[in-house]
Structure 1
Amino acid sequence: MNIPVPVMTVGLLLLSNVFMTFAWYGHLRYKSLALPIVILSSWGIALFEYMLQVPANRIGHGYFSAAELKTIQELISLTVFSVFSVFYLHESLRWNHLVGFGLIVLACWVIFKEW
């Protein structure tokens, strides 16, 4: 199967960000757990994040510049985190969060625009 580079790159980055978000923020629902357990658990989850993120950047670099790869990763990260915070942490997104995220999307457009 010949998956286009942009699809493979974005797909792997999306999956890696799901793992990253759980590694970094998943423990917030379990504040009674001892910090060393939380740290070791996060490292274990982050291993899977790296196993997806590193190939994504390897595959995508050349088609995308490093700055574009980082921009894609940040946009995906914000999107995944928004969904995670609403559905897993049960926190609401306020209007100022949405405006701020919108400005970041605008920044992404500036980075990808051919000038």
Structure 2
Amino acid sequence: MSPLLLTPFLLVLSNIVMTLAWYGHLKAPSWPMWVAILVSWGIAFFEYCLAVPANRIGYGAFTGQQLKVMQEVITLSVFAVFSVTLLGEPLRWTYFAAMGCLVMACVFIFLPSGGG
């Protein structure tokens, strides 16, 4: 599979796993903090197993700056689905405005540099 397809695919998977690591424990408020931390760390290990290859495979096809901006847009997209489906939180217009700003960041970061 091409780095142009494999990189975003792995980044989406890594962000799904990381969202569960960072926010999944919110559905278990009775857990002691140390349990939430250990479970999150355990889940985060698998996120790194996806994110590190995604960035290594993608670097060259994408610049480091492009990889980072792409990752941020993917993160917010994954979190939008997570917050609605698992946390039961509605998406407000402000979320869409912020996402629009990040999409524009993607547009700008992928524009040709013009030799600079």
Provide TM-score, normalisation by structure 1: 0.95
1:6 aligned residue (4, 7, 18): 4
How much has 1:29 moved relative to structure 2? 1.2
1:56 aligned residue (39, 54, 57): 54
- State the distance in 1 between where 2:86 and 2:4 align: 29
Aligned ranges for residues 1-115 of structure 1 at < 5 Å? 3-115=1-113
For each residue in 1:86-113, what CA deviation from the matched residue of structure 2 results, as whole angstroms up to 9, or x when unmatched?
Answer: 0011100001111111111111111111
- State the distance in 2 between where 1:48 and 1:58 align: 16
Quote the RMSD (CA, aligned, Å).
0.8
For each residue in 1:15-67, what CA deviation from the matched residue of structure 2 results, as whole angstroms up to 9, or x when unmatched?
Answer: 00001000001111111110000000000000000000000000000110000
Corresponding letter in the other structure for 1:84: F
Provide TM-score, normalisation by structure 2: 0.94
Corresponding letter in the other structure for 2:103: V
Note the residue ranges of structure 2 that are not aligned, 5 or more in a row. Answer: none
Aligned residues: percent identity?
A: 51
Corresponding residue SS for 2:88: coil
Corresponding letter in the other structure for 1:87: T
- State the distance in 2 between where 1:77 and 1:105 align: 12
- State the distance in 1 between where 2:70 and 2:97 align: 19
